[in-house]
Amino acid sequence: MIRRLTHTIALLLICSLTLVGCRGEYEILPVVSNELNIPHEDYKDLRGFYLLNEGNMGSNKATLDYCDLSTGVYHRNVYAEANPHMVKELGDVGNDIGIFGSKLYAVINVSNFIEVMDARTARHIGMIKIPNVRYIIFNEANGKAYASSYVAPVKFDQNARVGYVAEIDTATLEVTRTCNVGYQPEEMVIWYDRKENRQKLYVANSGGYMFPNYDHTISVIDLNTFTQERKIDVDINLHRLRKGKLSEDSNGPQELIVTSRGDYYDHPSRLFFIDLKTDQVIDTLSKAVTNLYIDYETEKAYFYAVDWSYNTQQNTITYGTFDIRTHELTSTNFIKDHTEEDIRIPYGIAVNPINKDIYITDALDYVTPGDLRCYGKDGYLKWKTDTGDIPGHFAFLYHK
């Protein structure tokens, strides 16, 4: 049961009615480094990447790993080494990670804060307290960060309050404004509307605490006034939100891509395309998509699906790619050497922006260390390594 609780929001809530995140007295995990079989390549300005391990809810075992591509060494639990003075390291459930400027931001969901570190050293800089915080996104135009928050405690509640998005000043690390959105908001996208000469923030609302009455909307926020101006009706239990097809002049996206997790019974998980000029759904890909990573240079989206069904009591696991311009599936499995059979629960995905290696993490049983696998762009396994518990979220680090 614990395996499934961690994998989906609705199930995860069942065992977590009274949990409160903290940095209590727990054993500090040691740093472990191992050399990878990485061929010498020119990664240009790319130094490596961080991998945030969620840790099972209630275990206070979120950890941070770092893969140094220049040396070919993978370091597990680098936060502990960089911050020996921090009690219980990162806290409970690492849900998202990102780099903006010289800072690294790790969203620690159940512990109700965002940990801010130096991006090069992973040393603690500060903490931003936000209740039940979910995801973070950054705005180059104004130097702000935006974090989605469920706000409500971790429990099923038909009367739960709506969530909000918090605006964060990345210089002071202070929350400057909040904007109410839908129920249990998830991922976000920022878009500059050239016609109206203003920026908008799109937020996928899940309503995960409202089962079976899920939310089914995307909130649209005017970033000047920081108010919700409207909602777009899409489908139930929305989650991932990405920029889709780019305009021909490369001045930004023309579309959004959003995933629906369905209801795990008879309402299927699907993927939707939204025209940013009209804020209308214009196409649907009838395919379950749990997580995806878009390589905008090739305009190809890589995805995997772990599609749980209460009816069959089983997961259906698939991998594939689709063209973000045509919306057509281009592959039903980007892994070509059949090693996907060794992956128990795919949990994170990223594509190396330089050589197009594909990184896939495996959560295994959700309670023991997972692993990270690197596939070449030809779909063949190049190397693998152990990680922390429930590895899920990537952030690429550059020299500049």
- Helices then strands, each counted (H, E), the chain: 3, 29
Q: Indicate the helix (H) or strand (E) that contains 2.
A: helix 2-7
Contact 268, 286 (CB under 8 A): yes
d(CA 374, CA 139): 30
Burial letters 102-112, b for 16+ CB under 10 A, else e:
ebbbbbbbbbb
d(CA 318, CA 292): 12
DSSP, collapsed to helix, strand or coil, labels residue 26 as coil
Contact 227, 202 (CB under 8 A): no
Per residue in 276-328, pLDDT (tens digit) is 999 999 999 999 999 999 999 999 999 999 999 999 999 999 999 999 999 99
Predicted confidence at residue 222, as pLDDT, reads 97
d(CA 147, CA 136): 4
d(CA 200, CA 190): 6
Q: CB neighbours (10 Å) of residue 351?
A: 22
Instruction: Using alpha carbons, select from 132, 257, 84, 276 the residue that is nearest to residue 199.
Output: 276
Residues in a beta bridge with 285: 271
Residues of the chain with pLDDT under 70: 1-29, 88, 249-251
DSSP, collapsed to helix, strand or coil, labels residue 239 as strand
Predicted confidence at residue 89, as pLDDT, reads 76
For 341, phi then psi, to 5°, come to -65, -20
DSSP, collapsed to helix, strand or coil, labels residue 310 as coil
Q: CB neighbours (10 Å) of residue 66?
A: 22
For 80, phi then psi, to 5°, come to -65, -40
Contact 68, 366 (CB under 8 A): no
Q: Which two tokens stand for residue 230?
A: 């409207």
Contact 392, 96 (CB under 8 A): no
Per residue in 182-217, pLDDT (tens digit) is 999 999 999 998 888 899 999 999 999 999 999 999
Predicted confidence at residue 41, as pLDDT, reads 86
Q: At the topology level of CATH, where does 2-24+52-63+76-340 sit?
A: Methylamine Dehydrogenase; Chain H (2.130.10)
Return the amino acid letter for 113.
Answer: F
Q: pLDDT over 90 for what percent of the chain?
A: 82
d(CA 365, CA 5): 11
d(CA 203, CA 190): 9
